[in-house]
Every structure is written in C-alpha cells, then in structure tokens.
Amino acid sequence: MATTTEKMKIKRCNLRLIALTTLVISVPVLPFTIESPRSGEQVMPGQSVWLIVQPDSSAEAELRAVQVLAPGASGCEKVQATVPIQCQLTIPDGSNKTTAPLAVDIRVHVTYANGMQGSASTYINVASVSEALTALRGNPRERPLMFDAIGQEKDLTVLGWTVDGATRDLRGRSKGTLYSVSNPAVVKVREDGRVIAQAAGAATITVQNGSLFFEVPVIVCVGVKVR
C-alpha cells in the first residue's frame, strides 16, 4: 500500500500531466489568411466578390468544418472544408425589396481535425446604389483574342458601367469577375484575369460579374504570326 508521501508524489505527477495536457490543448491553432477581398475593398450593389482563405498549412485533412458569416451578403452559407477555402459573395442590388448594405463584415470560422478552432475577419465597403452595374463589356478589338505562341499572355479587358455613368475596371477575381473557358486545354485565365495560351485551337471565354456576362472567342495559332 502506498504511503502518504508516495500518494502526494502521485498526486503532484497527475497535476503535472493535467497541466501539460492543458498546454497542448491551448496551443494556438494553425493560422490562416484571408487573401480576398482586401479589408476595405469597395464593391458595388449587385456585384459578386470571391472570398479566398488560404490556411498556412497545405494539409487539407486538417480542416473539418468552415463557417462564413457575412450579414448583408449571400452565397457562402455552405462552404466546403477544402484548401484553399473559397466561395462567392453577392451583394444585394437594391431591387426586389432588397437593401444594399453600406458595408459587409466577413468572419470566417474554421474547425480543425484535432478539434481546435480559429477565426479571421475582414470587411468590404459597398458603393451607393447609383454606382450599381448596368452593363459589362470587353474590348471589341479583342474579339477574337488571338495568340501565336504557346505560353503567350494577354490582358482581357473587363469594363463595368454604373448607373451614374462611371466606368470601372473589373479585371480579376478580386473584383468579383468569374471566368469559364469552353476548352481549358487551349487557354487558361489567371486570378488577375490575364489569359495564357496553352495549346493550338479555339475556345470561348465567358466573363461574368453578378448577373451580367459576355463572351470572348479565343484562337491560338502556333507558328502563325497574328495581329
């Protein structure tokens, strides 16, 4: 049978184990960064913007669940726990009895496989309804967008017209613009909206922002000089 002294030693040892366990549990969670949108970035009523969150660890299995809170915007109610975390937020345009907010606070909650949690936040400012998009267009000179070499890169113009007559440069996913390519083997579109030729052939790029969109035909002629 253990003596009183031995019992005290065992008790102290157990307390140390509890303290060590508490320390392990309280270790800060793996950090993550909200890459888009930038804090304070201005968007327009009716515009969409990509929320992109990049955990500093690339281990996708470390994520169990993701929750996005963005009162005043829609589109990120259900988010997959994948790396990078991304979803498209859409701002109300003020029509159909909806009210365009002045700003949207965005908070991302992440639960990791080990049960730990973390959060990060950002916000976007919303322009007045008078600046809402009424048209989305490209450059007629870029129809078709021509390439004469694999790896060649070109900008693709994306302009948005607002109610008050202003014109905005909406190139890139950070501006809420989405790109889909009918034949991804021929060309790809980077995050910033720049188009890169990958193989000879033809494709169509669909450019969309909010409910507005337009299409641009693309031709890649390897070995043939085009203008």
DSSP 62: G
Stretch 120-124: mean pLDDT: 91
pTM for the predicted model, two decimal places? 0.54
- Average pLDDT taken over every residue of the chain: 81
- If you count them, how many residues does the chain have? 227
d(CA 91, CA 103): 10
pLDDT (average), residues 170-182: 87
147 by Cβ neighbours in 10 Å (0-12 / 13-18 / 19+) ranks as buried
Check residue 122 and give its pLDDT. 92
Domains 32-129 and 133-220 share a fold: yes
Tokens of 79: 């988010």
Mean pLDDT of 16-30: 44
The two structure tokens encoding residue 107:
């908070």
CATH code assigned to 133-220: 2.60.40.1080
Where along the chain do its domains lie?
A: 32-129, 133-220
How large is the average pLDDT for residues 199-227? 87
pLDDT digits (tens, 9 = 90+) for 50-84: 999 887 655 555 788 999 999 999 999 999 888 88
Say if residue 26's pLDDT is above 80. Answer: no
**DSSP state letters, 117-175:** EEEEEEEEEE--GGG-EEEEE--GGGSSEEE-STT-EEE---EEEETTS-EEE--SGGG
Alpha helices in the chain (DSSP H): 4-25
CATH number of 32-129: 2.60.40.10
Residue type present at position 127: A
Sheet harboring 48-55: ordered strands across? 32-36, 48-55, 85-90
Note the pLDDT of residue 20: 41
- Contact between residue 217 and residue 145 where contact means Cβ atoms under 8 Å apart: yes
Say if residue 28 is preceded by a cis peptide, omega within 30 of 0. Answer: no
Nearest-angstrom CA–CA distance, 10 and 6: 6
Burial class, 145, CB count within 10 angstroms (exposed 0-12 / middle 13-18 / buried 19+): buried
Check residue 19 and give its pLDDT: 42
pLDDT score for 184: 95
